[in-house]
Chains A and B, each alone.
Chain A
Amino acid sequence: MSLNRKDLLGLEHLDKKDFQTVLDSVKPFKSLFTRSVKKAPTLIGKTVVTLFYEPSTRTRTSFEIAAKRLSADVVNISVSASSVVKGESLIDTGKTLEAMKADYIIIRHSMAGTPDILARNLSASIINAGDGFHEHPTQGLLDLYTMYEKKKRIEGLKILLVGDILHSRVAKSNIWALTKMGAEVAVAGPPTLIPPQIEGLGVKVHYNLDEAIKEADVVNILRIQLERQQENLFPSVHEYVELYQLTKERLAKAKSGVMVMHPGPMNRGIEISSDVADSQNAVINEQVTNGIAVRMAVLYLLKPTKVKKNASSN
């Protein structure tokens, strides 16, 4: 089994068959977790580099554990934002890593498209670990897997994404994966945080969370960035909490078995109340566990090939 591609840049370019391939591959990796020896020899002799231009301990650690469980050598590189503006160019950094024989480069960057640029210029496999407001494909896949594991299906599921859709790479990766797998996706949030073109992706738009939540089988709560208030995208945190926090009361309006997800890290008391985060409905910790298995599957399924320089990877 393989994804027949060198890179994982986004879920936009994957099809239903690819998603099924990932779902089918995760389980054996997850079952490895319960054994006393949690390692597989899959990537022995391979080098995996995490190249993070934006700090994210959770995502980086998850990739690191995934790579190590596959017996790869892992190198972690963090680059501060200020050195991006003046310092060494992205492509030069990538070329240096390639000269050091990196087989996989996992990149996180605050600017959209950086994984694409690397993928175009390098023969190593590039995995997007979140780029600006573009995509976060492994998060999309782990969300997909978590729903599949719990609900035993994706087709026909009603999924509600709540919050800052405009700036969310998680939302976009979720939308691509879920709609292609036949789920019904809706979003809820203030109009300033929902791109007007999103309906063109086959997504329903709600401004009223209390209305939207009634239908949902799964509610995926997105993290709200407090600096959006400075950009006048909503008037105050107080008002945001009033309108969009997932509280016990709101959750009570949903179907009884409704599943609550959050990509983390959570702002408890802002987009989600603590009692909801700790409730039976929440699968937030399972998401973290599945994240490792999903990332193992992705590393296993990608095929680093010696491609021609500048060849497009999609």
Chain B
Amino acid sequence: MRLQIKNIRIVDPSQNKDSVEDLFIENGKIVSNLTDAANRIVDGRGKIAVPGLIDVHAHLREPGHEGKETIKTGTRAAAKGGITTVFCMPNTKPVIDNAPTVEFILLKAQKEGAINVFPIGCATKGSNGEELSEIGVLKKAGIVAISDDGLPVSNSQIMRRTLEYTKMFKLPVISHSEDKELSRNGVMNEGRNSMILGLRGIPRQAEEVMVSRDIMLAELTRGYLHIAHVSTQGSVELVRQAKKKGINVTAETCPHYFTLTDDVVKVYDANTKMNPPLREKRDVEAIKAGLADGTIDCIATDHAPHTQEEKNREFDLTPFGIIGFETMLSLILNELVASKILSLNEAIAKITVNPAKIFNLEDRGSLKTGSIADITIIDMEYSYEFTKESIISKSKNSPFIGRKFTGGAVMTIVGGNIVYER
């Protein structure tokens, strides 16, 4: 397959490039010129090519929870959102704490997936926080990071060992930062709104206490710490100070944390229930500032599908989480780029070259000659309303249903193949 994309604006933060050129793709790679006539020529005028988007935090639910999502449906939803690589969290059933499960996911992804799927392995056996999992075996099977996401590693000694042991594999440890005692029974941010609504609150400190602990342990061990889904002003500040001190720490946030506050919980809509919870205006502002000054390296979806039956009930009883694949890029373009928090180049870096670097994905996150041809084509003029009917993820739990966007993915290319085209 030889593909030529003509006259397209290429925005590639990995080489600081922003210019109108032709893009050539052959044998799944970016090349400087084709050896023969192209099989397909795409008119790129008015559109933007960026490296394929990398989402380092998602829940694909397979194996074990196929009613919510599968590798097949999840990767198609991701492709529609312009995502070419997704990391899947290990809180499946069984959890990803053994090589056969890693192999199963990789095989499934190869057979049925639309995009690249890289599994994340458990930090501890059974994700129970007590014993280290066979991290070396998991690494060999193909994991790209370690995490007990969904749960924190509550035991500080185990977390220390995890950060120490993973060093030899250069595997980042992703911290789901939550003090389970402080967050116990909580269903939303603790504050004025939780008081008025009569819902149990989760204080910011439930996150910050653990971010702070894990940064200290990263300092002690010199391990690779990556903080998942940063949601509070205090966490941003902790990461900022840690980076200043030269501690090996990176961080991600999710589109909902720079877009929404807990004001949207007011109607007890379970599509606003996630963990960590939506916070307040000052947190949203701090997260934007943290993205702008580089404290927060990546933006990830934390795509967490749940069925309508699970979400359409008493707020206390519904599970945490929202889907995110199909809205991530548009939210970044609308909330960060259009409002000039980030330049387009800076914004794209958060979902391409930065995650590729942190998680050692060679040949990805870049449009340099020789890189794998994972490409996302963006149309900044593409206006649409995000409707429930348009969602292709198996689950529909999004607080953004009904929102109007301008700008989004119109073509997604994975390994030189067009996997989504509007």
Contact with A along B332-372 (1 / 0, CB 8 A): 00000000000000000000000000000000000000000
Within 8 A of B (CB), among A128-146: 131-135
B267 x A84 contact (CB < 8 A): no
Instruction: Fill in one digit per residue for A290-314: 1 if any B CB lies within 8 Å of its CB, else 0.
Output: 0000000000000000000000101
Asked whether B196 is an interface residue with its Cβ less than 8 Å from the other chain, the reply is yes
Q: Are A112 and B198 in contact (CB under 8 A)?
A: yes
Cβ of B313 and Cβ of A90 under 8 Å apart? yes
- Does residue A169 face the partner (Cβ distance < 8 Å to B)? yes
Q: Which one, B67-75, B76-84, B138-146, B314-322, is touching chain A?
A: B314-322
- For window 236-255 of B, CB contacts with A under 8 Å fall at none
Q: Is the CB of B196 within 8 A of A172?
A: yes
Provide the residues of chain A in CB contact with B197, threshold 8 Å.
Answer: 112-113, 134
Instruction: Give chain A's interface residue range (CB within 8 Å of chain B).
Output: 20 to 34
Interface residues of A in 169-186 (CB under 8 A from B): 169, 172
Contacts of A314 in B (CB 8 A): 267
- Tell me the minimal C-beta distance from A237 to chain B in angstroms: 22
A178 to chain B, nearest CB (A): 15
**Chain B residues, CB < 8 A from A84:** 314, 317
Which B residues between 173 and 214 are near A, CB-CB below 8 angstroms? 191-192, 195-200
Report the minimum CB–CB distance from B301 to chain A (whole Å). Answer: 26
User: Which residues 4-52 in B have Cβ within 8 Å of A in the complex?
Assistant: none
**Contact yes or no, A112 B192, CB < 8 A:** no
Answer whether A195 and B317 are a contact pair too, CB < 8 Å, given A91-B312, A113-B268, A312-B267: no
- Cβ of A116 and Cβ of B198 under 8 Å apart? no
Asked if A132 and B199 make an inter-chain contact with CB atoms under 8 angstroms apart, the answer reads yes
Q: Knowing A197-B192, A200-B192 are in contact, say whether A113-B313 is a contact too (CB < 8 A).
A: no
Is B389 on the interface with A (CB-CB < 8 A)?
no
Give the size range of B's interface with the partner.
10 to 19
Contact A120 B267 (CB under 8 A): yes
Chain A CB count within 10 A is highest, among B191, B195, B315, for B195
The residue on A at minimum CB distance from B185 is A231
Shortest Cβ distance from B264 into chain A, in angstroms?
A: 13
Chain A positions within 8 Å of B312 at CB level = 89, 91
Q: Closest CB of chain A to B307's CB: distance in Å?
A: 12
- CA distance in complex: A109, B200 (Å): 15
Q: A85 CA to B195 CA in the complex, in Å?
A: 24
CA distance A17 to B221 in the complex (A): 64
Query: Which residue of chain B has the shortest Cβ distance to A198 in the bound complex?
Result: B195
Q: Mark A228-239, 1 if CB is under 8 A from B, else 0.
A: 000000000000
The answer to whether A113 touches B192, judged by C-beta atoms less than 8 angstroms apart, is: no
Shortest B277–chain A CB gap in Å is 15
Q: Is the CB of A112 within 8 A of B199?
A: yes
Cβ–Cβ contact A135 & B198, under 8 A: yes
> Are the C-beta atoms of A89 and B313 separated by less than 8 Å?
yes
Set A117, A135, A195: member contacting B268, Cβ < 8 A: A117
Residues of B within 8 A of A32 (CB): none
Chain B stretch 290-328: residues in CB contact (< 8 A) with chain A: 309, 312-317
The CA-CA distance from A131 to B196 in the complex, in Å, is: 12
Determine the residue in chain B with the shortest Cβ distance to A314: B267
Contact A111 B195, beta carbon cutoff 8 Å: no
Q: Do B191 and A197 have beta carbons less than 8 Å apart?
A: yes
Name A112's contact: one of B191, B309, B315 (CB within 8 Å): B315
Q: How far in angstroms is the closest Cβ of chain B from A252?
A: 33
Q: What are 30 residue pairs bridging A and B, where the CB atoms are less than 8 Å apart in the complex?
A: A84-B314, A84-B317, A85-B317, A89-B313, A90-B313, A90-B314, A91-B312, A111-B314, A111-B316, A112-B197, A112-B198, A112-B268, A112-B315, A113-B197, A113-B199, A113-B315, A116-B268, A117-B268, A117-B314, A131-B198, A132-B198, A132-B316, A133-B198, A133-B199, A134-B197, A135-B198, A197-B192, A197-B195, A198-B195, A201-B196
Would you call B195 and A114 a contact (CB within 8 A)?
no
Report chain B residues within 8 Å CB of A198: 195
A120 to B313 Cα, complex, angstroms: 12
Q: A190-207: contact bitstring with B at CB < 8 Å (1 yes, 0 no)? A: 000001011011000000
Residues of A within 8 A of B195 (CB): 195, 197-198
Chain B: minimal CB distance from A212 (Å): 20
Return A120 CB to nearest CB of chain B, in Å: 7
* Chain A residues within 8 Å of B267, by CB: 116, 120, 312, 314
CB distance from B283 to the nearest CB of A (A): 15
> Taking each of B198, B200, B312, B317, which has the highest tally of chain A beta carbons within 10 Å of its own beta carbon?
B198
